[in-house]
Amino acid sequence: MLTLAIIKPDAVHNGLAGKILAHLEAAGFRVRAARLVRLTTAQAEAFYDVHRERPFYRPLVTFMTSGPALALALERADAVAHLRQVIGATDPAEAKPGTVRKLYAESKERNAIHASDSDESARREIAFFFPESELRGLSGAQ
């Protein structure tokens, strides 16, 4: 199974992308596709469309377009649920010890990493960043 992670602009800017990737690999995820992206406003708006009505939507779009981010297609058994466990709660103050967000996130908004919240989201989000040709032959990909 595949899921999508994004190492967000705060973590890339703070030089934490390598540490976070090592953390994910140590948790059993294999990197099946990776891309350093600088999202446009339109792309960030589309990616977070589900949050369009939320008060944090505009600041979230501004943050996600503020610098490069690292999009990753990750493979592991039970990938979606496991990655969400490994990254911890949205707010690092509430994240369990040893989770990526507890270790590396600055705040609820600048929270170092995104992970898909369901298999359906994972399919949509992986397709958002990676053309089918880059994913050919991967289990769980379209």
- Amino acid identity, residue 25? E
**For residues 38 and 73, what is the distance between their CA atoms, to the nearest angstrom?**
17
Cα dihedral 56, 57, 60, 62 sign? negative
Residue among 24, 60, 83, 100 that touches ligand CMP (CB under 6 A): 60
DSSP state of 91: S
C-beta closer to ligand CMP: residue 58 or 132: 58
Q: Which two tokens stand for residue 129?
A: 């960043």
C-beta closer to ligand CMP: residue 89 or 127: 89
**Binding of ligand CMP by 85 (CB under 6 A):** no
Q: Which helix (H) or strand (E) holds 62?
A: helix 57-64
* Binding-residue total with ligand CMP (CB under 6 A): 8
**Binding of ligand CMP by 109 (CB under 6 A):** yes
Residues belonging to the active site: 114
What residues line the site for ligand CMP (CB under 6 A)?
Answer: 51, 56, 60, 90, 108-109, 111, 114
